[in-house]
């Protein structure tokens, strides 16, 4: 006796599922996500105000008017916020596919910057590329794509990562060339940040500590070799320990004037827009050393507010990491956390004289279009995890079978929820 044919799905099942997906994508963020987005937007607006103040003099002397750099940064900020909102509403698979494209395209642009006249060399770094009127840093796209790719690869069957061979097969073929391209460009600061969040991704993926120790030791050895391979970098290290740099005397000048700016700010600051350091005394006042201008104009109070905002951002992201059961969400969010907070620590540490000079911007605040857009898109990925909870094992399965099981019918084992006691079949 043949079994009766299974009931055909209703004709409106397809459109109904599409409608459900559209409703999910239009869902409002949770209160947690709203708070996280508010902190990010406040940092962006605060950064625009400080870029206007710190860059006005140098922008005018360059012939772009007092508002030239501010206008450019404002355009990048608007574009970045729009992209953040769009990414926050995209499905995870779409974001992952686009991230792979961004990673590959950014690596190609980095190769063009290194091997063709399109590359722009600033100091010892060749991590800029100019195509017509458009200029940017491909390394920022590499950072963004690598972060999402790490979460995708390490979040898939994380129990297999205890074997170092499996771990190497998943990480080295992509992360290794990406880091190498940035190293060849000579940008030690970006290389250190990328190495840090790669280690962070391994930590949040639950990799064994001894494997992490080996990777950390090898990375530190390579970083020392890179730092000693350039006379400019050796001069920065010498300046950090109180020596002088004959090759790059501006290192001492820059750090000393950053300290003078912080000291003159006192508790309350000299007032917004009244910085003296920005009058050609402090190089990179609107980018790598913008925190010195913040301390001078807004004083210790303003500097502490910036630190508290980054601390709040870290606490919110740590909470998401600790509460989610989804390994992809945990690893991706933790990697973005290490990226942004570690980069902020490096930037502020350089200004305070805690570490040698490394050219990295202060996230969301420093001038720099590609860096700001990459950071905002990364936060859009994190916000998407706060808006949509992790997918249920029943998502995408035929719910007619579930309804039949609740009514006492046969339910395949793959469709049963763990720990659920289904009614006995009548």
**pLDDT tens digits, residue range 6-22?**
454 444 555 555 444 54
pLDDT band at 344 (very low <50, low <70, confident <90, very high): very high
Chain segment 148-176, per-residue pLDDT in tens: 999 998 988 877 777 778 888 888 888 88
Tell me the C-alpha to C-alpha distance, in Å, between residue 282 and each of 7, 54, 229, 244, 251.
75, 10, 27, 18, 11
Of 149-153, 183-187, 338-342, 359-363, the range with the lowest mean pLDDT is 183-187
Of 62-66, 94-98, 283-287, 412-416, the range with the lowest mean pLDDT is 412-416
In the chain, count H helices and then E strands.
14, 3
Which of 417, 422, 394 lies closest to 407 in space, CA to CA?
Answer: 422
Q: Specify the higher pLDDT residue, 234 or 276.
A: 276
pLDDT band at 117 (very low <50, low <70, confident <90, very high): confident
pLDDT band at 394 (very low <50, low <70, confident <90, very high): very low
Q: Specify the higher pLDDT residue, 269 or 215.
A: 269
CA 135 to the chain's CA centroid: 20
Chain segment 266-307, per-residue pLDDT in tens: 899 998 988 888 888 888 888 889 999 999 999 999 999 999
> CA-CA distance, 16 to 365, in Å (whole number)?
44
String of DSSP letters for 276-293: STTTTTSTTTTTTTHHHH
Element (H, E) at 357: none
Per-residue three-class SS string for 112-155: HHHHCCCEEEECCEEEEEEECCEEECHHHHHHHHHHHHHHHHHC
Q: Specify the higher pLDDT residue, 406 or 92.
A: 92
Inform me whether the pLDDT recorded for 343 exceeds 80.
yes
Q: Is 146 exposed, middle or buried (0-12, 13-18, 19+ CB in 10 A)?
A: buried
> CA-CA distance, 242 to 220, in Å (whole number)?
23
Decide: 319 and 32 in contact? Cβ < 8 Å.
Answer: yes
Query: Is 55 contained in some domain?
Result: yes
Query: Is 23 contained in some domain?
Result: no
- Read off the pLDDT of each residue in 102-120 and give the average, rounded to a whole number: 91
Tell me the C-alpha to C-alpha distance, in Å, between residue 253 and each of 231, 243, 273, 283.
17, 12, 22, 9
Query: Is 61 contained in some domain?
Result: yes
- Read off the pLDDT of each residue in 95-106 and give the average, rounded to a whole number: 93
> CA-CA distance, 34 to 139, in Å (whole number)?
29
Identify the domain containing residue 143 by its residue range.
28-387
Percent of the chain at pLDDT > 70 equals 80
- Read off the pLDDT of each residue in 203-225 and give the average, rounded to a whole number: 82
> CA-CA distance, 425 to 120, in Å (whole number)?
72
Residues listed for the chain: 426
Tell me the C-alpha to C-alpha distance, in Å, between residue 68 and each of 309, 325, 361, 381.
27, 47, 19, 31
Inform me whether the pLDDT recorded for 360 exceeds 50.
yes
Query: Is 404 contained in some domain?
Result: no
DSSP state of 29: P
Question: Which CB contacts under 8 angstroms, 24+ apart, belong to 245-252?
Answer: 250/283, 251/357
Of 114-118, 193-197, 417-421, the range with the lowest mean pLDDT is 417-421
pLDDT of res. 257: 87
pLDDT band at 198 (very low <50, low <70, confident <90, very high): very high
Query: Is 121 contained in some domain?
Result: yes
> CA-CA distance, 91 to 298, in Å (whole number)?
41
Inform me whether the pLDDT recorded for 45 exceeds 70.
yes
Of 254-258, 311-315, 368-372, 420-424, the range with the lowest mean pLDDT is 420-424
Beta-carbon-side half-sphere exposure of residue 370 (alpha carbons within 13 Å): 18
pLDDT band at 332 (very low <50, low <70, confident <90, very high): very high
Inform me whether the pLDDT recorded for 57 exceeds 60.
yes
Q: Residue 410 — left, alpha, or beta (φ > 0 → left; ψ -120 to 50 → alpha)? A: beta
CA 398 to the chain's CA centroid: 37
DSSP state of 310: H
> CA-CA distance, 364 to 213, in Å (whole number)?
31
pLDDT of res. 168: 83
Query: Is 417 contained in some domain?
Result: no
pLDDT of res. 336: 96
Name the domain count of the chain: 1
DSSP state of 364: T
Decide: 277 and 293 in contact? Cβ < 8 Å.
Answer: yes
Decide: 180 and 146 in contact? Cβ < 8 Å.
Answer: no
Q: Residue 211 — left, alpha, or beta (φ > 0 → left; ψ -120 to 50 → alpha)? A: alpha
Average pLDDT for the chain: 81
Q: Specify the higher pLDDT residue, 185 or 413.
A: 185
pLDDT of res. 27: 53
Query: Is 13 contained in some domain?
Result: no
Decide: 334 and 200 in contact? Cβ < 8 Å.
Answer: yes
- Read off the pLDDT of each residue in 259-271 and give the average, rounded to a whole number: 90
3-state secondary structure (DSSP) of residue 89: coil
DSSP state of 55: H
Query: Is 414 contained in some domain?
Result: no
């Amino acid at each position: 006796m043949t079994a009766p044919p299974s009931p055909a799905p209703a004709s409106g099942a397809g459109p109904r599922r599409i409608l459900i997906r559209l409703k999910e994508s239009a869902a409002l963020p949770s209160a947690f996500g709203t708070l996280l987005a508010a902190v990010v937007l406040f940092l962006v607006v605060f950064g625009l105000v400080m870029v206007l103040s710190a860059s006005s003099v140098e922008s005018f002397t360059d012939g772009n008017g007092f508002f030239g750099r501010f206008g450019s940064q404002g355009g990048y900020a608007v574009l970045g916020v729009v992209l953040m909102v769009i990414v926050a509403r995209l499905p995870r698979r779409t974001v992952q596919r686009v991230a792979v494209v961004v990673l590959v395209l950014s690596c190609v642009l980095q190769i063009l910057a290194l091997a063709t006249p399109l590359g722009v060399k600033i100091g010892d770094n060749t991590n800029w590329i100019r195509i017509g009127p458009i200029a940017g840093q491909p390394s920022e796209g590499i950072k963004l794509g690598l972060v999402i790719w790490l979460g995708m690869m390490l979040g898939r069957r994380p129990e297999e990562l205890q074997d170092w061979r499996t771990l190497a097969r998943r990480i080295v073929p992509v992360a290794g060339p990406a880091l190498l391209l940035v190293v060849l460009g000579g940008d030690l600061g970006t290389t250190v940040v990328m190495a840090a969040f790669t280690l962070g991704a391994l930590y949040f993926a639950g990799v064994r500590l001894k494997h992490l120790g080996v990777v950390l030791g090898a990375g530190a050895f390579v970083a020392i070799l890179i730092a000693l391979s350039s006379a400019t970098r050796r001069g920065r290290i010498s300046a950090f320990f109180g020596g002088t740099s004959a090759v790059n005397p501006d290192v001492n000048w820059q750090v000393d004037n950053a300290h003078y700016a912080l000291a003159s700010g006192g508790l309350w600051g000299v007032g917004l827009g009244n910085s003296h350091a920005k009058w050609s005394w402090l190089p990179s006042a609107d980018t790598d050393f913008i925190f010195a201008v913040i301390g001078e104009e807004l004083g210790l109070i303003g500097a502490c507010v910036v630190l508290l905002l980054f601390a709040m951002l870290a606490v919110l992201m740590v909470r998401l990491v600790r509460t989610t059961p989804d390994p992809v969400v945990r690893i991706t969010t933790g990697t973005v956390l290490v990226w942004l907070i570690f980069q902020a620590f490096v930037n502020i540490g350089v200004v305070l004289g805690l570490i040698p000079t490394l050219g990295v911007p202060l996230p969301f605040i420093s001038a720099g279009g590609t860096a700001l857009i990459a950071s905002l898109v990364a936060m859009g990925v994190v916000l998407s995890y706060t808006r949509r909870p992790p997918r249920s094992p029943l998502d995408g399965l035929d719910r007619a079978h579930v309804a039949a099981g609740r009514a006492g019918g046969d339910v395949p084992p793959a469709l049963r929820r763990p720990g659920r006691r289904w009614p006995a079949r009548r």
